[in-house]
Amino acid sequence: MSYIISGIQQIGVGVADLSSAWQWYRKAFSMDVPVFQEAAEAPLMVRYTGGEVQSRNAVLAMNLSGGGGFEIWQYTSRTPTAAVDPSRLGDPGIFAAVLKTRSAREAYDHLLALGAEASRPTPGPDGAERLFVTDPFGNVFQIAPSPDWFGAPAVIGGVSGAIIGCTDIDRALPLYRDVLGYDAVLYDERGTFADLASLRGGAGEVRRVLLGHSEPRVGPFSELMGSTTVELVQSGDAGRPAIFAGRYWGDLGFIHLCFDVRGMNELAARSAQAGHAFTVDSAGTFDMGDAGGRFSYLEDADGTLIEFVETHKLPIFKPLGLGLNLTRRPAERALPRWMIRLLGLARVK
């Protein structure tokens, strides 16, 4: 590749109340380090916000144990809407975020202690035990074991993947394999599965393909984000609407899956060649509070939004004016671990 994908930077979560949602995510998932927090308009996203500029408040929160973060996103210019019909497994779109854990059993006990709605750990097609939990706002998360950590492992770590519904996996696959680099098929199974039984639509027959990457990711944040997977799921119910059908980007639920990248121009050319040209592109540096970078979006074969962020500047510790200019560093080189750990000085309890 002439561009670099360092990993999953974050998954966007649209909420009705940022403060209460972030508080729960700190308790349940240790998403307690804010990389940025700002209230602003989103003028470049009018394609997905009814043709009008909308305002929002957002925080990018990370878990420094490792994995991607959450961009917790709340409209301030309108009341966000939920899907009329709650999403079911296999509906086109992001059905669940995947978070890492050392032990599914330990994660299950932790979530039960919080009063969360969690399924018992159950082996999947590869024999690994996983569980599902629904947050108080109706979003589904899969908790999956991982040996891949950045810092001292929390009970539950950061984002390590996503479960994405597709109308046709074979049509969706080239984008994820050839553009996003998920070139390893970890399993490709069809049937009914005990580990999915607790989910809406999980009792029916589905095809599920778990994708990984055959080579370790490289880039500035690759060691923090670690290895990731994407599971594509196709149900037999072809008439189901997309999860975000008729709603705006930023409405309630998982709004996008975001990858940290270097070489945005090269990625733009490759995406267009693959039939998935960028639908949004900030082109130059777009300020996000004290952070800044170039961002873009494309749609997968079913219209699911994939975001890319090329970080140009990043605050490390604002009280001391410590920051980082990534445009001056080699694209493939990982940042020193001590430098990333400095973000923890801003941890919110």
Instruction: Render pLDDT for 172-204 as a digit per residue (tens, 0 to 9).
Output: 999 999 999 999 999 999 999 999 999 999 999
Specify the pLDDT at position 326.
Answer: 85
Alpha helices in 287-346 (DSSP H): 337-341
- Is 322:315 a contact under the CB 8 Å cutoff? yes
Give which of 172, 3, 180, 146 is closest to 67, Cα–Cα: 146
Angle ∠(110,124,215) on CA atoms, nearest 5: 95
Specify the pLDDT at position 317.
Answer: 67
Specify the pLDDT at position 219.
Answer: 95
Residue-wise pLDDT tens digits, 29-44: 999 999 989 899 999 9
Average confidence (pLDDT) over 161-180: 98
Specify the pLDDT at position 144.
Answer: 98
| Alpha-carbon distance values, 212 to 42, 184, 256 (Å) | 32, 5, 19
Specify the pLDDT at position 221.
Answer: 95
What mean pLDDT is reported for the chain?
94
Specify the pLDDT at position 293.
Answer: 87
Pairing status of strand 206-212 against strand 184-191:
antiparallel
- pTM for the model stands at 0.96
Side-chain half-sphere of 340: how many Cα atoms within 13 Å?
19
Of 99-113, 170-184, 322-336, least confident by mean pLDDT is 322-336
Q: Determine which helix (DSSP H) or strand (DSSP E) holds 317, and give its type and residue range.
A: strand 305-317
Side-chain half-sphere of 86: how many Cα atoms within 13 Å?
9
Residue-wise pLDDT tens digits, 231-282: 999 998 878 899 999 999 999 999 999 999 999 999 999 999 999 999 999 9
- Is 199:138 a contact under the CB 8 Å cutoff? no
Specify the pLDDT at position 211.
Answer: 98
- Fold classification of 4-346 (topology level): 2,3-Dihydroxybiphenyl 1,2-Dioxygenase; domain 1 (3.10.180)
CB neighbour burial string for 70-85, b if at least 16 within 10 angstroms, e if fewer: bbbbbbeeeebbebee
Q: Domain-by-domain residue ranges, the chain?
A: 4-346
Please give the torsion angle defined by the CA atoms of residues 180, 260, 165 and 50, in that order, rounded to the nearest 10 degrees. -120
The answer, yes or no, to whether residue 314 has pLDDT greater than 90, is no
The answer, yes or no, to whether residue 292 has pLDDT greater than 90, is no
Average confidence (pLDDT) over 162-166: 98
Specify the pLDDT at position 84.
Answer: 85
Average confidence (pLDDT) over 80-107: 96
CA–CA dist 79, 125 (Å, integer): 40
Residue-wise pLDDT tens digits, 51-60: 999 999 999 9
Specify the pLDDT at position 321.
Answer: 65
User: In this structure, is the dihedral angle defined by the CA atoms of residues 236, 251, 267 and 272, taken in order, positive or negative?
Assistant: positive
The answer, yes or no, to whether residue 334 has pLDDT greater than 60, is yes
Give which of 161, 156, 114 is closest to 29, Cα–Cα: 156
| Phi, psi angle pair for 185, to nearest 5° | -90, 110
The answer, yes or no, to whether residue 1 has pLDDT greater than 60, is no
Percent of the chain topping pLDDT 90: 84
Specify the pLDDT at position 288.
Answer: 63
Confidence at 324, pLDDT banded by 50, 70, 90? confident
CA–CA dist 177, 33 (Å, integer): 31
